[in-house]
Structure 1
């Protein structure tokens, strides 16, 4: 046990002190910082303070009734995002001069239409395009004006608003034998969504980063012949599991650093208001989602890390490592893509099947627990399969590691590894 602790500590501190680790961590922290502050940076470089209203010239012309209704709608909306400036007629020279003088940003006019039909609206500006936010605001207002124009005032403002309100459709499953609904709808909160997606990304990133570090560490020790000295004082199995735990602690350290960077940036004054509009309440996070997420994260890491260590022990040159770990990388990518593309339908058949496959269950079962409906026996069965797989692949990887660390030259075939494994007992 003392030797295992020594290997863990040596692996951890030896990797943390390297320039590559420090530089990589700093670069990722800077990327996270830039990503969180993208909205603020856009406003900073474009000169938009976030409170500027777009000034739109509204041409009354022959469609004075529609223009008046739109002006009344804008006046009733304190945060419409645009301000209307009245123009009786469409004088293109005068309007173009006002745009050049920045009195207005563009102008809106309505084409002639047959009686009883709503005319087409045309927005003219220097850029020749509409900002997405402004377009949505104008479309919402024009939709209400269109309803009022067609109904000719026969509906009240409340009735018009109710008529334009989108119809909501809630999905649920049929009742089971016990009479209880199995919709899982209560779990689909903003906090659960954010936590699940963060865990999926972190699981994939840390598995790939630490897994490749484990494999490259073993390969570099073999290529430099240091392995021959190490095994005289520490058994190969102690080395293998010491490296796995040490790299796991490095991954946890990086997650803690990135989490602190995100928290600091979110709490900045210019970001606090923006993120508060997302309506994400941390109190809505289901504790069972947090617990199962951590359990599947740790177990999934242990499964993949043992495979990376076994593959790394079979490679004698670092140049061949990328090709050797490619199958594990593809499996990890498959798990990541299944999770991200199926998160919108957590009760789908593909997720149910993937939750019982040990290589995909950490991500798939996390989505089902966090966003869908899953019985306790399903979670227990998935955990049992994952634990058995960790034991089997851990035992197999340990045998491969013990024989592979002293096999030099070209990468051995599976037949050669199997014969060498028969000489050792784990």
Structure 2
């Protein structure tokens, strides 16, 4: 057992001390804080005029003959907290277009009320890609138009409110496993993020294990190690060491993300977070997230160690890991597509395939009210698959670490097993 812990610590500390690991960790943590505060940073940069001021993006110049629409439109924009300021101008359309070209102004609006008391509006900016600001202006103009028509029809304010009162619409589902839209919103964010985390972990750390084994073989260090430690013990110590390092790194990212969100100007209940629903996540979903993350890692890490033992050059690692990479990519595609329809039959079937289970079954657990036996069955399938792959992988690993020369294909597995029996 002492040999196991020696290799475990060596695998953990060697990778933890590498410059690439430290730099990558720092860059990701910095990126998390940057993304959490990006809106505040952009606002401060714009306020400071770092880029030379430029045209005021939130100021729209208005061309109108009688000026009767300007004030009501500004009131509606203020009521919707759009942040848009209107300024009347006497310049011609050609002069304003030239000012946009010269980057003196960002946009202008031409307003006119025809004989039928219908608003005619033209919004002009540098390009047609802008959509947020004109959409706000359009919505505000629509409200102004409604008020004008209501006045012409001599409708009271209460009658206008009744005319545009929203209907009561609810969505129910017959399926017993379906959740309400509110519950789906609460689960969607965590499921989306953790699917990405599981995908990243099994892909990145599995490749790290395979590369580590291939590096030891290419440097002939492997021959010294297996002379005193059994290949099987060496394999599982490698998996455990790199896995622990991965868990600590991901935990660090999680803590950094939590601190970044708490210290930023945003919270977990507004903006994009209101759609993703991070504010209310069940404990059971978190528990299943950890379980499927760990089981998914050990499944793919065992496969990666098996494949890494077949190559003696690090250049051959990616080629031999290609089938495993395809499995991870297919699983992620199924999981992300299932976010929109988690009850699809192909999602349900895929959730019981061992190499897809960590991502797809977790998707179903997070998005649906499944009977407890389904995730338990998925966990059981993963445990059995890890045991079988570990048993098979140890036999391949025992002979694979002694094989040298260019790796041809997966056919080398049989050669490694034959060598391991000797």
Place the TM-score, normalised by the shorter chain, in its bin: 0.7 to 0.9
Could you tell me which residue of structure 2 aligns to residue 291 of structure 1? Answer: 287
CA separation of 1:193 and 1:140: change in aligned 2, threshold 3 A:
same
The one of 324, 338, 343 aligned to 1:342: 338
The one of 65, 73, 76 aligned to 1:73: 76
Contact 1:60 1:109 in 2 (8 A): yes
In the alignment, does 2:11 pair up with 1:16? no
Could you tell me which residue of structure 2 aligns to residue 248 of structure 1? Answer: 243
The one of 224, 227, 241 aligned to 2:222: 227
Could you tell me which residue of structure 2 aligns to residue 61 of structure 1? Answer: 65
In the alignment, does 2:81 pair up with 1:83? no
CA separation of 1:259 and 1:172: change in aligned 2, threshold 3 A:
same
| TM-score, normalised with respect to structure 2 | 0.84
CA separation of 1:164 and 1:133: change in aligned 2, threshold 3 A:
farther
Contact 2:110 2:122 in 1 (8 A): yes
Contact 1:3 1:234 in 2 (8 A): yes
Return the alpha-carbon distance in structure 1 between the equivalents of residues 377 and 96 of structure 2: 71
SS at 2:122's partner residue? strand
Return the alpha-carbon distance in structure 2 between the equivalents of residues 5 and 345 of structure 1: 45
1:167-206 to 2 correspondence within 5 Å? 170-174=170-174, 182-190=178-186, 192-206=187-201
CA separation of 1:163 and 1:273: change in aligned 2, threshold 3 A:
farther
Return the alpha-carbon distance in structure 1 between the equivalents of residues 346 and 156 of structure 2: 49
CA separation of 1:160 and 1:203: change in aligned 2, threshold 3 A:
farther
Post-superposition Cα deviations, 1:210-231, rounded to whole Å, max 9, x if no partner, equal: 1111001111111111111111
Return the alpha-carbon distance in structure 1 between the equivalents of residues 234 and 336 of structure 2: 35
Give me the CA root mean square deviation.
3.5
Return the alpha-carbon distance in structure 1 between the equivalents of residues 104 and 155 of structure 2: 36
| TM-score, normalised with respect to structure 1 | 0.83
Contact 1:144 1:164 in 2 (8 A): no
Return the alpha-carbon distance in structure 2 between the equivalents of residues 289 and 409 of structure 1: 47
Post-superposition Cα deviations, 1:294-352, rounded to whole Å, max 9, x if no partner, equal: 11111011110001000000011111111111111111111122222321222222321
Could you tell me which residue of structure 2 aligns to residue 375 of structure 1? Answer: 371
In the alignment, structure 2 segments of 5+ residues that lack a partner are 50-55
Could you tell me which residue of structure 1 aligns to residue 36 of structure 2? Answer: 36
Contact 1:314 1:412 in 2 (8 A): no
Could you tell me which residue of structure 2 aligns to residue 138 of structure 1? Answer: 137
Higher mean C-alpha displacement, 230-239 vs 381-390: 381-390
The one of 388, 405, 411 aligned to 1:409: 405
CA separation of 1:156 and 1:82: change in aligned 2, threshold 3 A:
farther
Could you tell me which residue of structure 2 aligns to residue 6 of structure 1? Answer: 6
Return the alpha-carbon distance in structure 2 between the equivalents of residues 243 and 160 of structure 1: 71
Return the alpha-carbon distance in structure 2 between the equivalents of residues 213 and 143 of structure 1: 58
Give the deviation of 1:273 after TM superposition: 3.8
Could you tell me which residue of structure 1 aligns to residue 53 of structure 2? Answer: none
In the alignment, does 2:17 pair up with 1:47? no
Could you tell me which residue of structure 2 aligns to residue 110 of structure 1? Answer: 111
Return the alpha-carbon distance in structure 1 between the equivalents of residues 37 and 81 of structure 2: 24
Higher mean C-alpha displacement, 365-374 vs 233-242: 365-374
Post-superposition Cα deviations, 1:108-129, rounded to whole Å, max 9, x if no partner, equal: 223565x54734311245x466
SS at 1:399's partner residue? helix
